[in-house]
Amino acid sequence: MNRAMGNLLDIGRIAFIVLLICAANLLAGCFGSKTYPNTLGKNLHVHTVTDSGSWFSRVRAAIDIHRVGRDCALDYEGTVQLADSKIDIGIPPHRWSYLVFVFGSSSFLANRSGTITYETLLKARPNYHYDVAVHYRDDMYHVGIRETLPNQSTGREIEPLELSSCRSSVSRK
């Protein structure tokens, strides 16, 4: 009798764990967020400063990285959470990437949240490095990208490039 009860409890535990895994998968699918593999040579050096300006609210920053296809279609590759003040990321050179900087803010007292994004196309050049400054302070944000050659301190500021510019160049061809 006791053994039968034990078996039933074991089955119940296994079913609970399976359900949890299914729920986690389902939620991951719903939110559509996955971690960027970040296995390539590190050429994107992201310096992040975030300050919500209040004890009762929080700001989180992240980068969604997309591969840009020949027809400008986006293929989501993953997200890097900018939880540390400096994070190195590898994006493939020679081809266009679409970077979406996401600032998510939430207020505990008002119980509300919102996200705002800053997007740009970027074609990383081989051997070049890209210093990215990501700032959020006093409800203002700024993203600046500077391209430099290794061992050189100076570089050039990269202006944001909209996805529509890719689409218009494709339609011209």
Residues forming contacts to another protein in the complex (CB under 8 A) are 103, 105, 110-118, 135-136, 139-142, 160
**CB-wise, 114 or 150, nearer to another protein?**
114
Taking the complex as a whole, the smallest distance from the CB of residue 136 to another protein amounts, in Å, to: 7
- Backbone φ and ψ for 65, nearest 5 degrees, come out as -110, 125
By beta-carbon proximity to another protein, the closer residue of 118 and 128 is 118
Handedness of CA 17, 21, 26, 32 (dihedral sign): positive
CA angle 62, 90, 36 (to 5 degrees): 45
Q: Is residue 126 helix, strand or coil?
A: coil
**CA–CA distance, 63 with 86 (Å, rounded to integer):** 13
Q: Which is nearer to another protein, 20 or 116 (CB)?
A: 116
Q: Give the 3-state secondary structure of residue 167.
A: helix
Token representation of residue 121: 């196309």
**Residue closer to another protein, measured from CB, 13 or 167:** 167
- The CB-of-53 to another protein minimum distance in angstroms stands at 10
Minimum distance of another protein from residue 131's CB (angstroms): 18
- C-beta of 4: minimal distance to another protein in Å? 43
Q: Are 126 and 94 in contact (CB under 8 A)?
A: yes
